[in-house]
Amino acid sequence: MFKIGLTGGIASGKSTVLTYFKDKGIPYIDADIVAREVVEPGTEGLEAIVDAFGSNVLHDDGTLNREALGAIVFHNEEKRRQLNDCLKEHIRNRIMELTAHYESNRAAVLIYDIPLLIEGEWYTMMDEVWLVYVNELTQIERLMSRNGFSKEDAMARIKSQMRLDDKRSYADLIIDNNGTPQALTAKLDTIWSDRLEPLLQKPQ
Ligand SMILES: CC(C)(COP(=O)(O)OP(=O)(O)OC[C@H]1O[C@@H](n2cnc3c(N)ncnc32)[C@H](O)[C@@H]1O)[C@@H](O)C(=O)NCCC(=O)NCCS
Ligand SMILES: Nc1ncnc2c1ncn2[C@@H]1O[C@H](COP(=O)(O)OP(=O)(O)OP(=O)(O)O)[C@@H](O)[C@H]1O
């Protein structure tokens, strides 16, 4: 199974790229979805968060108050590390479990959408790393408009990740997403026919 690690920075366009390949029927693992699963009520992940941050990061119904936790961790490096420590093992276990599932289903290709692929050293288990790249100005604008964040909040989230420029040297393929959605689709059409279709046609 050929493993592709799709990464980028917050709001650089990973989900948009993933949607293109999902629509083609390629199996995928979305780390943001996994990160939500491991904090559902009753999980060890949520328990660890409450131990570390207190019950004021919960809604009245016991679910995680993501806004409250985000406001803490994206403005405080140490708290963010603490959160990562609470969840990293649970996220890793679930991703490895899903990987085993796709291996046993004899998938030819698996795409991993992992925002912290480089920071979390996931790139070492990938056959290729694909980086969805935008310049910082575009990233700030798209993040502000998608999430309704102030410039300060957008910057705080961007600064909590490795600079996109520093991620470039880890990438086997850089997908520049500074242009229009149509320009992105044209690039993905080429990647599909030049890189993915040949992998899918290889005998298993
Ligand atoms: C802090 C939380 C509750 C905020 O939730 P919120 O709904 O506002 O954001 P969401 O989960 O949709 O994440 C949006 C983006 O933020 C970035 N991000 C998330 N967590 C982190 C982190 N710990 N460090 C740096 N960037 C992060 C990613 O680019 C992600 O795509 C949430 O992000 C979280 O639980 N983070 C810890 C888990 C994690 O590390 N996830 C990253 C995927 S492995
Ligand atoms: N080429 C483009 N032109 C204009 N807007 C775009 C383009 N590509 C993506 N967007 C928009 O930018 C925002 C961020 O894109 P997307 O959600 O795909 O990023 P992401 O990297 O998955 O973000 P996150 O790390 O937060 O999950 C979305 O609102 C999306 O619709």
Angle at 11 between CA 9 and CA 17, to 5 degrees: 90
Instruction: Convert the pLDDT of each residue in 19-68 to its tens digit.
Output: 999 999 999 999 999 999 999 999 999 999 999 999 999 999 999 999 99
Distance CA 8, CA 21 (A): 16
**Ligand nearest to the Cα of 116, by number:** 1
Distance CA 172, CA 32 (A): 23
What spacing in Å lies between the alpha carbon of 25 and ligand 1's midpoint? 26
1-27+109-198 architecture in CATH? 3-Layer(aba) Sandwich (3.40)
The helix or strand, by DSSP H or E, that contains position 131, with its residue range, turns out to be strand 128-133
What spacing in Å lies between the alpha carbon of 188 and ligand 1's midpoint? 26
What spacing in Å lies between the alpha carbon of 180 and ligand 1's midpoint? 26
In 3D space, the residue among 200, 134, 170 whose CA is nearest the CA of residue 5 turns out to be 170
Distance CA 152, CA 130 (A): 28
The helix or strand, by DSSP H or E, that contains position 133, with its residue range, turns out to be strand 128-133
Interface confidence (ipTM) of the complex: 0.95
What spacing in Å lies between the alpha carbon of 144 and ligand 2's midpoint? 11
Q: Is the dihedral of CA 187, 189, 193, 195 positive or negative?
A: positive
Instruction: Convert the pLDDT of each residue in 89-107 to its tens digit.
Output: 999 999 999 999 999 999 9
The answer for residues whose C-beta is within 8 angstroms of residue 92's C-beta and 6 or more apart is none
Question: With a 6 A CB cut-off, is 12 part of the ligand 2 pocket?
Answer: yes
| Binding residue ranges | 11-16
Give residue ranges with CB within 6 A of ligand 1: 10, 31-32, 35, 66, 69-70, 73, 80, 83-84, 87, 91, 114-116, 157, 160-161
Instruction: Record the pTM.
Output: 0.94
Predicted pLDDT of residue 159 = 93
Predicted pLDDT of residue 201 = 87
